[in-house]
Amino acid sequence: MLIFKIAARNIWRRKFRTIITMTAIGISFSMLLFFEQLHLGQHEMMANSGMRLSAGNIVIQGKGFNQNRELSSRVRNPDKHIEVLKKNFNSLHIIKRIFTSGNLTSPDGNIVVDTINGTEHAQEGKISDLKPKLIAGKWLSGNAGEIVIGAVAAKLLKVEIDSKVQLSMPDLGGNVVRTALRVRGIFKTGSTDTDRGYALVNIDEAAKLLNLGNAVSQIAIFTDLEKSTQVTHQIRKLIDDPSLEIMDWKDALPTLSQFMLVDKISMYVFLIIIFIIVAAGVLNSVLMSVMERTREFGVLKSIGMKPTSILNLIIIESALVGLLSIVFGFIVGQTISYIVYRYGIDPASLFGGESVEVAGVSMTEKIRTKITLWSVVWTSASVLLLTIISAIPPALRAARIIPVKAVREL
């Protein structure tokens, strides 16, 4: 206990240097904590956006659908599988979808629609990012002859709500089928690709037109993001069908998953730079302190203080400075994190008002920090450990001081 009291007194003997060191470590720690939580929030937003638009936390698809996106790679008896899921899980949100592509034609224009999503209107509406972004009209009602399109598509086709358009697309046998639809809703995400090339129709009508019967392209399953992998393994054990692929969102959205991996690696490079800054600051501060106190350590050793006690004293001093720095950095970092969590950052505002699309995912939602206990624990522990490790070389130097030489030199 005595050594702790001495260490606590010693760190304030040079108040200015201690405050400068604490400020440097604290600011570095606050940056580390904030960017880690911003990084977590950004990745969660991107994953959720991608899943809601074209996948799910977990998807059940025909084998090879991700590669060919063809109607032949289909889930032939989706209701049977959904019954199994509902029997074994209580909290899953399940949507049947049919994905295809086609042409939309109006009296004044013609466009290619990359993704036509034939979906269950009520279930899709509960999770869709597009429904809140309707700028005109309404969401699908389930009635025949409805389509919801993007603002860019509406502009190119020169149509508005209740205008008629003709949808052409190849059916299961490769024959081109056509149907007349009325525009029920127009959405605007800010992403040109999505607002031009994405449309929604009712699943029953799509299945009939495409000659799919009861089959669908995808069963999208939504659950907690953290539980996706675990639930995927459980579903694979329940549904053993060689014609199907059961994947979590990382496998269903490989481009997005790979981008997030690369982004995570670049984040760790940034964190390493912060660690180097912290280590250099601590090493310099402790080394200066040891050099100034050479005579003091010489006297302490001459009266019987053991080298291990001097080593422990300096390490405890550094640990106390690190703890105080972490408290300061935590207050600053969490304040910034909470502000960003509360108000968010609009990605478009960072690029002159233009929409941002990453790995095929439109970043139309505000980026918010994700404040977690683990992010606080591991960043705090890392900075504290680094502070202690950086103090070891100067502490060893102090422990090896020869009392006679120390007194003579100074």
Name the pLDDT band for 146 (thresholds 50, 70, 90).
very high
- Best-predicted range by mean pLDDT among 10-19, 46-55, 185-194, 349-358? 185-194
Flag whether pLDDT at 280 surpasses 90.
no
Residues 237 and 301 in one domain: no
Residues 155 and 271 in one domain: no
- By C-alpha distance, which of 296, 258, 246 is closest to 407? 296
Residues 288 and 186 in one domain: no
Residues 46 and 180 in one domain: no
Pairwise CA distance, residues 357 & 294, whole Å: 59
pLDDT, position 184: 93
Residues 11 and 101 in one domain: no
Could you list the residue range(s) of the whole structural domain that residue 222 is in? 57-248
Question: What's the mean per-residue pLDDT of the chain?
Answer: 84
- By C-alpha distance, which of 140, 158, 287 is closest to 201? 140
- By C-alpha distance, which of 136, 49, 91 is closest to 227? 91
Residues 137 and 22 in one domain: no
Pairwise CA distance, residues 140 & 185, whole Å: 8
Domain's final residue, options 224, 248, 272:
248
**Are the beta carbons of 214 and 207 closer than 8 angstroms?**
yes
pLDDT, position 357: 64
Region 207-228: what's the mean pLDDT? 88
More confident residue, 351 or 228: 228
**Are the beta carbons of 344 and 366 closer than 8 angstroms?**
yes
Residues 285 and 151 in one domain: no
Phi-psi map region of 304: left, alpha, beta (phi>0 left; psi -120 to 50 alpha): left
Pairwise CA distance, residues 407 & 410, whole Å: 6
Q: Name residue 150's beta-bridge partners.
A: 187
pLDDT, position 409: 58
Flag whether pLDDT at 335 surpasses 90.
yes
206 Cβ contact partners less than 8 Å away, ≥ 6 residues apart:
98, 100, 116, 118, 212
Alpha-carbon dihedral sign for residues 249, 250, 253, 257: positive
Region 194-204: what's the mean pLDDT? 90
Total length of the chain: 410
Residues 67 and 169 in one domain: yes
Region 116-137: what's the mean pLDDT? 89
Residues 87 and 174 in one domain: yes
Domain's final residue, options 248, 269, 293:
248
Residues 66 and 174 in one domain: yes
Q: Residue 245: what residue type?
A: E
Residues 143 and 276 in one domain: no
**Are the beta carbons of 181 and 147 closer than 8 angstroms?**
yes
Scored b (16 or more CB within 10 A) or e, 177-210 reads bebebebbbbbbbbbebbbbbbbbbbbebbbbbb
State residue 290 phi and psi, 5-degree precision: -65, -45
Domain's final residue, options 222, 248, 274:
248
Longest CA span, the chain: 100
Q: Residue 276: helix, strand or coil by DSSP?
A: helix
**Tokens coding 243:** 């014609």
- Percent of the chain at pLDDT exceeding 70: 94
- By C-alpha distance, which of 403, 372, 216 is closest to 301? 403
Q: Residue 221: helix, strand or coil by DSSP?
A: strand
Residues 206 and 316 in one domain: no
Domain count of the chain? 2
Region 232-240: what's the mean pLDDT? 87
Q: What number of H helices and E strands is found in the chain?
A: 15, 12
Flag whether pLDDT at 354 surpasses 60.
no
